[in-house]
Amino acid sequence: MKVERILSRAVPGEDPRGTLESYLREKGLRLTRQREAILEIFLAHPQHISVEDLYKRVRKADPGIGFATVYRTLKLLTQCGLAEERHFQGGRSRYEPAASEHHDHCICTVCGKIVEFENPTIEQLQDEAAEQLGFELTHHRMELYGICAECRQRPVRRRR
Amino acid sequence: MKVERILSRAVPGEDPRGTLESYLREKGLRLTRQREAILEIFLAHPQHISVEDLYKRVRKADPGIGFATVYRTLKLLTQCGLAEERHFQGGRSRYEPAASEHHDHCICTVCGKIVEFENPTIEQLQDEAAEQLGFELTHHRMELYGICAECRQRPVRRRR
DNA sequence: GTAGATGCAAAAGCTTTGCATGGGT
DNA sequence: ACCCATGCAAAGCTTTTGCATCTAC
């Protein structure tokens, strides 16, 4: 089982910037200073950034950018396949760069750490389970919640 | 694998109403007309009711009840272990009667049907996966999304 | 030059909270 | 009688939308 993702998300032979540009051109949309900045900062961030967090970082780089633009651009990135929206416990949206491979999440309920993993055996069983229920599986969501090794050793830690 | 839950949620030898009463007494809280009504309607509903839907049903039975009371009572039911909060795709909260056994969900992306199931083999593998990541697993969430048999036969169907 | 994008603020959902009043115990 | 619970409305949060202005093409 592969337990942690490689942090660089670049799909070999395909660059995200190019993907965005093609998508924009195809749809008759425009590549703006703001979209470039948001994409860059979004990709630079390791994982699962919240909209608010991304907004703050983007603001630091370019103080003129508004909240609405960040939201609009994240929707755009989602549409062109560069970003994926997540809804972990708590309700507010987080986005992560679209991975070339599917993965699931393991989340520490103490410090909030999120580790990505994949497990083909489980995937296989999920397919089978869905089939038995009469479903043709399109996608799934699996989140494991627990306490990470660090937090078990050092119990008092603030939530990220 | 058990594929569908029994719709009656009564845990043998334990009645929900009694559980609520005990909890209220213990905490010095009160059993009101509204709480009785909300509990009853909540338990009568098969599964995964949204707050709004519950509110509407409760209103029909007792038009004086306010939205805030429904929210407050659902929190109360969650605290005393009678209800569980879910956040499926889309963001708004749904509640379901606390099951005596853990289960996961399989959701039709066309008609919105939700089927509950459990799969001990997957559970076991989840435990192992978390352990390999250094986590002590406390709980998890697994949702399978796909198209149910009905919807595959009869493609055009509105979302519930 | 034109259609799309932006920033701001207002609006829109969903959920929670404050407060005067009502009601269990 | 004492407090807790309620209903209403207002406030909180996150996300979306309207609109005048700006800008990439």
CATH of the domain at B120: 3.30.1490.190
Q: What is the pLDDT of residues B12-28, one digit of tens each?
A: 336 888 999 999 999 99
Q: Which chain A residues touch B146 with a CB distance below 8 Å?
A: 130, 135-139
What angle separates helix A67-79 from helix A51-61, to the nearest 10 degrees?
110
User: A11 in a domain, yes or no?
Assistant: no
Question: Does the CB of B92 fall within 7 Å of any strand C atom?
Answer: yes
Residue among A90, A104, A100, A18 nearest A52 (CA): A90
Window 120-139 of A, Cβ < 8 Å to B: 121-122, 125-126, 129-130, 132-139
Q: For residue A122, how many other CB atoms are within 10 A of its CB?
A: 24
- Residue B37 identity (one-letter amino acid): A
The verdict on B132 and B71 lying in the same domain is no
The verdict on B114 and B80 lying in the same domain is no
Nucleotide nearest to B66 (CA to C1'): D7
What is the pLDDT averaged over residues B42-64?
89
Cβ–Cβ < 8 Å for A104, A139: no
Please provide the distance, in angstroms rounded to a whole number, between the alpha carbons at the two ends of chain A: 27
- Residue B127 identity (one-letter amino acid): D
**Nearest chain A Cα distance for residue B110, angstroms:** 11
User: B11 in a domain, yes or no?
Assistant: no
Measured from Cα to the C1' atom, the residue closest to C22 is B32
Domain C-terminal end among A97, A115, A140: A97
CA dihedral A7, A9, A10, A12 (to 10 degrees): 90
CA distances from B68 to A99, B34, B74 (A): 41, 11, 10
- pLDDT category of residue B91 using cuts at 50, 70 and 90: low
Note down pLDDT in tens along chain A; length 160 residues: 444 443 333 343 368 899 999 999 999 999 999 999 999 999 998 678 999 999 999 999 999 999 999 999 999 999 988 998 888 766 678 888 886 578 899 988 777 788 989 999 999 999 999 999 999 998 898 999 898 998 888 655 555 5
Q: Would the CB atoms of B146 and A152 count as touching at under 8 Å?
A: no
CA distances from A71 to A50, A65, A78, B3, B97 (A): 11, 11, 11, 39, 35
**Nearest chain A Cα distance for residue B64, angstroms:** 30
More confident residue, B11 or A77: A77
Mean pLDDT lowest among A111-115, B12-16, B106-110, B123-127: B12-16
User: A32 in a domain, yes or no?
Assistant: yes
Q: Give the gyration radius of chain B's Cα atoms.
A: 18
B123 pLDDT higher than 90: yes
Task: Say yes or no: B89 contacts chain A, CB-CB below 8 A.
Answer: yes
pLDDT score, position A114: 86
Mean pLDDT lowest among A76-90, B86-100, B135-149: B86-100
Query: Regarding beta strands B114-117 and B94-97, do their DSSP bridges make them parallel or antiparallel, or are they unpaired?
Result: unpaired
pLDDT score, position A100: 57
Cβ–Cβ < 8 Å for A129, B121: no
Q: Which chain A residues touch B136 with a CB distance below 8 Å?
A: 146-147, 152
Question: Does the CB of B34 fall within 7 Å of any strand C atom?
Answer: no
Structure tokens that stand for B123 in this block? 């559970």
Phi, psi of B111 (to 5 degrees): -100, -10
Question: Does the CB of A47 fall within 7 Å of any strand C atom?
Answer: no
> Domain range for residue B142?
104-153
Residues 6+ apart with CB under 8 A from A58: A37, A38, A41, A65, A70
Residues facing strand D, Cβ within 7 A = A 24, 30-33, 50-52, 67-68, 71-72, 75, 91-93; B 24, 28-30, 32, 34-35, 64-69, 72-73
The verdict on A72 and A135 lying in the same domain is no
CA distance B81 to B19: 9
- pLDDT category of residue B155 using cuts at 50, 70 and 90: low
CA atoms within a 13 Å half-sphere pointing along the CA-CB vector of B93: 17
Q: Which chain B residues touch A122 with a CB distance below 8 Å?
A: 122, 125-126, 129
Confidence (pTM): 0.71
pLDDT score, position B107: 86
Strand ranges (DSSP E) for chain B?
A: 49-50, 83-86, 94-97, 104-108, 114-117, 136-147
CATH number for the domain spanning B51: value is: 1.10.10.10
Averaged pLDDT of chain B = 83
In chain B, the number of structural domains is 2
The verdict on A80 and A113 lying in the same domain is no
Task: Say yes or no: A13 contacts chain B, CB-CB below 8 A.
Answer: no
